[in-house]
Amino acid sequence: MTVGVKAVFVNLPVKDLTKSIDFFKTLGFKFNEQFTDNKGANMIISDSIFVMLLTEEFFTSFTHLGITDTSKENETIIALQVESKDAVDELVNTALKNGAEDKTTALSEEEEAMMYYRRIKDLDGHLWEIMYMDMNAMDI
């Protein structure tokens, strides 16, 4: 049985909404203008996966807890699977040229046989993993 989830919305607090939108646009992401205003922006990952970039003030209106200090801790790792190793490098290199920070760590030998990834922290310190998986190399 499946749960029946129709879409996934990841909500991320951002310090400067305009800068965050511009950053992700340079990576090729599109935004749904119908759900974008001065408090938040709806970034389209796929037909059913979205990231809501929310100003910190607006984000905190949804919770009684504080916002993670991403310079000291990770709140999550958002992993995006792309179609090739070249696509990983292209996306990450573009991000690095536009202010992201490289956070790639080494893989084990077993992981390296089937997976290629790089990690970045975006302008607000959110950790993104861009990966390619060679399904033929998996020992299933």
Cα gap 14→20, rounded to integer Å: 7
Mean per-residue pLDDT, 39-57: 97
DSSP 77-126: EEEEE-S-HHHHHHHHHHHHHTT-EE---PPPHHHHHHEEEEEEE-TT--
In sequence order, which residues have a C-beta less than 8 Å from that of residue 91 and are 6 or more positions away? 27, 28, 82, 130
pLDDT band at residue 7 using 50, 70 and 90 as cut-offs = very high
DSSP state of 27: T
- pTM beyond cutoff 0.85: yes
Helix (H) or strand (E) holding 60: helix 56-60
Band of pLDDT at residue 140, cut at 50, 70 and 90 = low
pLDDT tens figures, 71-91:
999 889 999 999 999 999 999
pLDDT, tens digit, 9 for 90 and up, residues 100-119:
999 998 766 666 778 899 99
